[in-house]
Structure 1
Amino acid sequence: MSMPSLALRRAPDATAVIVMIALCGAWGFQQVAIKEANASIPPMLQAGIRSLIATLLVWIWTRTRGVPLFQRDDTLPAGLLAGVLFGGEFVCIFFGLNLTTATRMAVFLYTAPCFTALGLHRFVAGERLSRTQWSGIVLAFCGIALAFADGFLHGNPNSASTLRGIAGDALGILAGIFWAATTVVVRASSLAHASASKTLFYQLAVSAVLLLVLAAGIGQTHVEAVSPMTIASLAYQAVVVAFVSYLTWFWLLTRYMASRLSVFSFLTPIFGVTFGVLLLGEHFTARFMIAAAMVLAGIALVNRSAPIAKR
């Protein structure tokens, strides 16, 4: 599935807007699904199974459509690097959700557009940041600092639970950095000319191997009693998010302007916070909500003219 020239892409219409809102909702719910399944399936094993199932689904999908995955096109080194970075992102997410809330993870993870803009500014020609985007990055990082301060001030700074929460928050930001690095590798390497299906296959296949080997290496292979909710959560992550939503996003990119679609990225953490509160009973302080608003406003400013990849 090669992408047409920019001239053939148009501004989002009503269909694109509806699909994008649905995708943001699906991505925002992902942290809740991971948190639910973490109770029965160890984080690394869960992440590896998720990537493995999605890899098989992408392979089947490309076979039925006649999309080649294994021809020589000099994308292997970049593909392996993108897969390792993609795997690192989910190591941070799955471990982080054992330490912090889905609400906080949703906000910290979606700082990725700011890190992506910085990376593209440094490594990709023609992706220079405007003053508005620099303002957005500064605003988002101020929000991160305030959110971290809230983590310390909300509880006893010396308590184990507070320190665990801060560690989880830090992993959320590190996951955002890994996500941004993956995007920069894709944009700045031979993968920029590969099909979206092949790029996604690299990320899923390499991360599946990495995560399953890591799960075995650290002894995270024991599964507790698996409930129907656990199975549903894992299926949601693998089928709905890692397979259907990613391919739908790439489909949108072939038809609509990425810079216009990327504006919707601020909706994902809003959905994530909402689901965390409504479904997991999580709580947040007024200080954290101000910090989240600063991060979201910063993301909106960064995305005014910079296309950002989705998760």
Structure 2
Amino acid sequence: MQKTELDRLAIGMMVLFCTIWGVQQVAIKLASTGISPVWQAGLRSIGATVVVLLWAHLRGVRLGERDGTLVPGVLAGLLFAAEFALIFLGLEYTTASRGVIFLYTAPFFVALGAVWLLPQEHMRRAQWVGMALAFGGILVLFGEHLFMPTDRAWIGDLMIMLAAVFWAATTLTVKASALARVSAEKTLLYQLAVSALVLPLLSVALGEPGVFAPTPLVWASLFFQTFIVAGMSYLGWFWLVRQYPATRLSSFSFLTPVMGVLAGGLLLGEAMTPAVFGALFLVGAGIWVANRPR
């Protein structure tokens, strides 16, 4: 039976997961010092696929049933692969702090897409206000580097914002198809398994060298992304969604960009400019306003 309120366990897990998801961009930057970006994304998906398969086997989750999910599942996987290729490539140009802020505009693209694709989900006034705040923050952050001809951060900013669009498209594909009626493990596995096939091929097509400077820090960063982020934290999130109201849980999502910006500053020494803090405040406030309980 699903609980109606969050207890200390749920709150603690959400704070932990938001911290993990915020630190993910830092881990990508650290691993990229020894592994090419798209190849790194492919290794992450391969490892996480194994984790989810083992989890599903232990829990007795049936993955092979014919349930009309093959086509939307492959589509979701291709969108997922595009999202992560753009994230990993974009972080070659921009900072982890900026990247996490741009990436977490995805919920607002979901809300916009739902207006046309999911007519049963109406935009509330609070969601429109939250969207306006968030995109105000994006304008502040994007404008900081747009008119500096020697600064290429805007290229990465654009790539990660496009990744947010693909993330939203993946979410809408799941919501509008048979994937919404199957287990979370099967839905996640489609995304991981398809991207595990596509991303290494894309890396080869781009001529990436692959693993070129392996160090303990590089491997530790990849392990964190693969087993902690893409494996355990996602599975933990799905468990929370089954136990507690999703709307209550989603109100914590504003913490992820906050944790990401702090991690970028503390672990990578990234510049904490007024534009970064201004954008962080606006995006975080927008997410909170859009997701607060009615």
For the superposition of Structure 1 and Structure 2, which TM-score range results when normalised by the shorter chain?
Answer: over 0.9
Equivalent residue runs for 1:87-98 within 5 Å: 87-98=81-92
- In 1, the alpha carbon distance for the partners of 2:175 and 2:293 equals 16
CA contact (8 A) 1:112 1:179 kept: yes
- Give the direction of change, closer, same or farther, for the CA distance of 1:186–1:234 in structure 2 (3 Å limit): same
* 2:262 is the alignment partner of 1:274: yes
- Give the direction of change, closer, same or farther, for the CA distance of 1:152–1:274 in structure 2 (3 Å limit): same
- In 2, the alpha carbon distance for the partners of 1:112 and 1:28 equals 14
- In 2, the alpha carbon distance for the partners of 1:142 and 1:290 equals 9
Q: 2:149 aligns with which of 134, 158, 161?
A: 158
Q: 2:64 aligns with which of 59, 62, 70?
A: 70
- In 1, the alpha carbon distance for the partners of 2:145 and 2:12 equals 35
CA contact (8 A) 1:148 1:166 kept: yes
* 2:189 is the alignment partner of 1:201: yes
- In 2, the alpha carbon distance for the partners of 1:145 and 1:186 equals 29
- In 1, the alpha carbon distance for the partners of 2:190 and 2:40 equals 19
* 2:292 is the alignment partner of 1:301: no
Q: 1:181 aligns with which of 164, 169, 177?
A: 169
Q: 2:158 aligns with which of 165, 170, 190?
A: 170
CA contact (8 A) 1:9 1:254 kept: no
- In 1, the alpha carbon distance for the partners of 2:44 and 2:113 equals 28
Aligned to 1:264, the other structure's residue is in SS state coil
TM superposition outliers: structure 1 runs of 4+ over 3 Å = none
- In 2, the alpha carbon distance for the partners of 1:104 and 1:92 equals 14
* 2:1 is the alignment partner of 1:13: no
- In 2, the alpha carbon distance for the partners of 1:48 and 1:56 equals 13
CA contact (8 A) 1:113 1:302 kept: no
1:284 CA displacement:
2.6
- In 2, the alpha carbon distance for the partners of 1:137 and 1:303 equals 11
1:225 CA displacement:
2.3
1:36 CA displacement:
0.3
* 2:243 is the alignment partner of 1:290: no
1:61 CA displacement:
1.5
Q: 1:46 aligns with which of 40, 60, 73?
A: 40
Partner of 2:178: 190
Q: 1:263 aligns with which of 251, 263, 269?
A: 251
- In 1, the alpha carbon distance for the partners of 2:170 and 2:33 equals 29
Q: Deviations over 1:4-49 (max 9, x none)?
A: 7xxx342211110000000000001100000001011000110000
Note the residue ranges of structure 1 that are not aligned, 5 or more in a row: 307-311
CA contact (8 A) 1:117 1:302 kept: no
Q: Deviations over 1:243-287 (max 9, x none)?
A: 000000000000100001001000000000000000100003213
1:150 CA displacement:
1.2
Q: Which amino acid in 1 is paired with 2:139?
A: A
Q: Deviations over 1:90-128 (max 9, x none)?
A: 011100110000010011111111111112232123310
CA contact (8 A) 1:24 1:265 kept: yes
Q: Which amino acid in 1 is paired with 2:57?
A: R
Q: 2:214 aligns with which of 226, 232, 238?
A: 226
Moved more, 168-177 or 268-277: 168-177
CA contact (8 A) 2:101 2:279 kept: no
* 2:119 is the alignment partner of 1:119: no
- Give the direction of change, closer, same or farther, for the CA distance of 1:9–1:187 in structure 2 (3 Å limit): farther
Moved more, 243-252 or 107-116: 107-116
- In 2, the alpha carbon distance for the partners of 1:265 and 1:222 equals 33
TM-score with structure 2 length normalisation? 0.97
Q: Which amino acid in 2 is paired with 1:263?
A: S
Partner of 1:309: none
Note the residue ranges of structure 2 that are not aligned, 5 or more in a row: none
- In 2, the alpha carbon distance for the partners of 1:13 and 1:151 equals 43
Q: 2:134 aligns with which of 140, 159, 162?
A: 140
